[in-house]
Amino acid sequence: MERNESSGEKAAKLMIDKPSDFLFHAAYTAYSKAWDENLSEDARTKLNSIMLSFSAGGSSSFYSQLDEFRADANSDFRGRSMIRSQRKRAWRKEEQKKARMSRHKK
């Protein structure tokens, strides 16, 4: 692991990925993307400390801390979304009706 202790040095990206551990790999991928998008040394140092704390103990608040630095984190899509489903028979009936209507509208 690489660690930046003094504020005069540039923050180095941590290379601690574990591809065999899915949760850790997903967290590291999110960290890596956020690290690449942020050019400020202060932000990169904070990202390193967040990732090190996650690797040490598996912090449950990792993503909430990381969201501050992520550009793709969109607040519009937070929360529940409604999934609309229907039975196959109902779908077929609706499709037949649409086809009938489109044939006769011409």
Tens of each residue's pLDDT in the chain, 106 residues: 444 444 457 888 988 888 898 888 999 999 999 999 888 999 999 999 999 988 888 777 888 888 888 876 555 555 666 777 889 999 999 999 999 999 988 6
Domain containing 30: what range?
A: 19-71
Q: Which residues of 49-64 are buried (b: 16+ CB within 10 A; e: fewer)?
A: ebbbebbeeebeebee
- Give the number of domains in the chain: 1
Query: Cα–Cα distances in Å, from 91 out to 18, 85, 102?
Result: 44, 9, 16
- Global pTM value: 0.60
Position 51 in a domain: yes
Q: CA 16, 19, 20, 21 torsion: positive or negative? A: positive
Position 62 in a domain: yes
Taken as a whole, the chain contains a residue count of 106
Give the pair of three-digit tokens for residue 46: 């904070």
